Structures are given as C-alpha cells and as structure tokens.
Amino acid sequence: MSPQAPRVTVVVIGYNDAPHVADAVRSALAQGPVVHEVIAVDDCSTDDSVAVLHSLADADPRVTVLRRASNSGGCGTPRNDGLDAARGEYVIFLDSDDTLAPGAADALLRAALRHGAQVAAGLCVRRELPSGRDVPWQPELYRKPALVARPELRPRLVHDTLCVSKLYRTSFLREHAVRFPEGRFIYEDFVFGARLLAAGPRIALIPDTVYVWHVRRAATKLSISLDRSGIDNWRARIEAHRQAVEILRAAPGGAKRLARAARAQFLDHGLRMYTRELPARDPEYQRAWWTLTRAYLTEFDAADLDAAPAPGRVIARVLLASPRPRDLERLREVAARPARLAPPYARDRDGTPVWSDDLPQVALDHLLVRPLRLLPLAVDAELRPSGGARLLLRLHELYGRVAAAGPALVDVELTHRGSGRPGLRRTAAFAVETPGETWTAEVRLDLAALDGDVYDLRVRLLFDDGSARETTARAVAGPGLLRRVAVPGGRRGILLVQPYATTVGSLAVRLAPGVRGVAGVARRRLARALRGLRPGGGPAR
C-alpha cells in the first residue's frame, strides 16, 4: 500500500488470556504499515495479560492498551470500546486467542478500495488444536472473488455469523449505529451481523484465508461459544438469533428475505449441532432444551421451515409434533453430517413416508424425489478386530429407493482424525441379506499398517444405476463389539484396538500400537478408576 492509503485499525479483545494475546497482537503488527494501530482492549483481566500488552506497546508505538475498570462479562462491550477509540478509516476485529493470516489486512483493504465496498470479507479457518487441522468456515461464500451490491442479493451471507475475518469502513459502522450488544451477551456476533446486513453495505468477498480461529477443545476453560454444557448457552443462542431475525425483518427493502434465510440457517446449523449432543445430556437438560426449542420454533412459519435443508426441517417438525423429548438417538443421526435416517420406515394410510406410526403428521415424502446422492441412507458397521480385522457393513432400504438403485460396491476409508488424511482404503461388493430390506458387505482391514491414533470411518456407496452416496456408518453396540481388544500388531508386536461410537453415533477406532502404547492406555484407565474410588470422585469411565 502507498503512504496515502487509508489506515486500518485492528481491535484485539481479551480476558485472562496472557498465554495467547501476544501472538494475536503480533499477527496484527505483522500485517505491515497497512495497520496503522492495534487497540488492545483488556476486559479487566486478573492474570498477566495487561503486563504482556504493555510490553508489546513499549516495543511498538502502534499498540494502544485500553483496560476496562470492570469485566463486561462478554465480548461485545470491549469491541465497542475499541471501535469508539479507532482512528483508522477501516477496522478489523481480532480475538486474543486467534491470529490474522499473513497479508490479511492488505488483501481485505485492496478488495474494499477496488470495489468501493464498505465491507470486505475473506475466508476463516478453524484450526483444531493440538492437531493443527484446518477446517474452512463457510467456504461456499469464498470460493472466488465476488462483489455483492446489496446483502439481499446473496442470502447465504447470513450463514457467516462471525464478526471477525472481515474489514469494515469505520464511518459506515458509526453512521448506521452498527454495534455489539453490551454486557454479558453470548453470540453477540449474531446481532452485530444482522445490524450490518440491515444497513445494506456493499460487500467484497475474497478467497484468501484471512483469519485463523483457534479451537482449543481441551482447554481448562472453554471459550464462551464452545462451552455448551448448560442450558443457558442454548437459551442465549436462541435469544441472540431471535434478535437478529427481528432486526432483519424490521429493516427496509429486501432484508426480510435475509430474515427467512437466517431462520433456515438456524435449522440447518444451530439446531442440528445441539441435537447431535442431546442424547448425551441428562434428562433435565433434555426436557428444558425441548421446551425452549419448541417455543422458539412456533415463531417460524411454514415457509421458514420449507426454506431449510431437509435434515433441520425434519428435526423441527418432530419437535413441534411432540410435547416431550422422544427419538433422541434417531434425531441425532438425522442431525449428523451427512444425515442418516435409521429404521423403522413407516408410512401413513396413503402410503406416504412418515417419521413414525404415531407421528404421521411429520411427512417424509421428500425422500421419494430427493437425489440418491443426498438421501440419508443408514449403514450399520461392526468392527471385529480379533482373528484378522473384519468390518461388517449393513445397508438398509429407504422406501424402495435403495433397491431401485441396486447396491453394488462400497468404498471404505479410515481417515486420520487429526490430519484428515486417508490411512486405509478398501472396496467390497454388496450381497443381498434380506431382499428389499438389507444388503451386507465384509471388508478385511490391516489395522497394524496404521499409526497409533484415532481414525474415522467413511463409506462411499456405489449403485448399479451409476449413482453414488458418501456417508458415515453407525456403530453397532452389540455384545462385545465396542470394547478394547489386544491383537497381534505386526512389527510392533501388539496392537490395542478400541472401536467406539462418536458423538453422532458413527463408528471410529482408536489404535495404540506396541507394548508401550498398550501400557499407556492401561495406566490412564487405572488412574480414572482410582479417581472414581476417591470420595466425591464419581464413577470411573
């Protein structure tokens, strides 16, 4: 950028995050002269965060430290403080435990200036730690450069609910009072994003990776959005989403179209995510969640439901049809990605596919016309490690669609959980088990050829009519199936194999090769058992 180029302010917010905040600030400073100032807002931390920030300010005059006198309880207030203090013509928001990608500010500013856009947005990646695996956030929006003249022309914009990974014209935010909710308000991004879209900015989209969102699921204290352990988190998410929808509905022009898209996004993302976790919750949480969700869904009309992809739409209709929690395991599988629909497969008196005999009002007639590659096919999987690892797969019929396509082959892939790289691939043929009901395949797996770690099972179903479907397989929890087994491990001598069901019920396998790996598992298991024997230690798991 030339010396006359507009200035960019990066607002970094943090609370008790001394181990990470320096990396965030340095990533902003490393953007070069395009970043005129970094405003670090400390939300009254009680750790060494302020000392870390002042040392950075002493080393670089671009850093300004603002320390709140009291903790706000959320992320909105410190971001507003930073926005109020910003002197740059453009502003970027950055959380203390994340980083800006190299060149992000320059790429975003060039796009904004080129198109005269009040907002420029780029790709955010979720970096799972400690594995380092990057998962792109809403990549469909950022596949190629684009200019959106008005937000309603690209309703999918509502799917990117993050306030980060974007550059904003400071005067535009101030002129239209686009601010964050104050105080302890979780999911403040929802409301900020709705206010932004309702103001009707011109938005430039770029395919560059501009933001790295660090996801530390094993952290001692989870981030506000990742901590979904209590019902208050879901209540806060509903309230933030409700406010966002109302902001869009009240806006002039075509923003009402965005409000409908926002409700469809809630069904496809938030509702599915929390439904996947529901079977693991205690009954009290399940009842409270069910009641809260049903109450919110009554605010949706038929068109809102119809606008959502099928899995979220089906879950919503089951919730609305039943006053009490039911079919949680089955709903969890519908919420999976890709979706699965487990039997039994009921029909009403007219022969229309329905959720169950006692909920015939929840019709599944879309399954009769949906492309086979998108059908929620159910595949059961049993991994038998002893005597040479065998993977047994069973494919279920789905209202006649499977038999009509003709199951032929199944491609099996064990994918390394951390890196996403394929570790083992095999192909097997399907055989008819029960005509018109189930098909089976058996695959031999050389587990000793894999490194010790966790592997997810993916399957690709190939049919005689030329169609295909990629999906996951349900872990069958029969007697002796989901338990640790020590088997001969080739050059390592021994291999400990643990088939298990993931959060959504899919089959995965954990491998511990060699005597040292087996001993490590035994030590961890013993430690858990001893903790469970101590008073107040709870049961061993």
pLDDT single digits (tens) 138-187: 999 999 999 999 999 999 999 999 999 999 999 999 999 999 999 999 99
Domain spans, the chain: 8-215, 254-369, 375-515
What's the whole-number mean pLDDT along residues 64-75?
A: 95
- For 8-30, the DSSP string reads EEEEEEESS-HHHHHHHHHHHHT
pLDDT-based confidence at residue 540 (cuts at 50, 70, 90): very low
Measured distance CA(193)–CA(208) in Å, rounded: 21
Domain 8-215 - what CATH class? alpha beta
Q: How far is CA 16 from CA 20, 38, 57, 502, 525, in A?
A: 9, 19, 18, 32, 33
57 is written with which tokens? 């300010």
Give 416-430 pLDDT, tens digit per residue.
Answer: 988 888 889 999 999
pLDDT-based confidence at residue 535 (cuts at 50, 70, 90): very low
Pair type for strands 468-471 and 422-429: unpaired
pLDDT-based confidence at residue 117 (cuts at 50, 70, 90): very high
- Whether 375-515 and 8-215 are alike in CATH topology: the answer is no
Count of C-beta atoms within a 10 Å radius of residue 138: 17
pLDDT higher than threshold 90 for residue 229: no
What's the whole-number mean pLDDT along residues 375-384?
A: 95
Measured distance CA(41)–CA(159) in Å, rounded: 28
Q: What is the identity of the amino acid at 172?
A: F
pLDDT-based confidence at residue 524 (cuts at 50, 70, 90): very low
Provide the pLDDT for residue 522: 52
pLDDT higher than threshold 50 for residue 528: no
pLDDT mean across residues, the chain: 91
Q: Which CATH architecture has domain 375-515?
A: Sandwich (2.60)
Angle, alpha carbons 171-177-178 (nearest 5°):
85
pLDDT-based confidence at residue 451 (cuts at 50, 70, 90): confident
Angle, alpha carbons 180-182-188 (nearest 5°):
45
Handedness of CA 355, 359, 362, 364 (dihedral sign): positive
Helices (H), 266-406: 271-277, 283-297, 302-306, 310-321, 328-335, 401-405
Decide: helix, strand or coil at residue 304. Answer: helix
pLDDT higher than threshold 60 for residue 66: yes
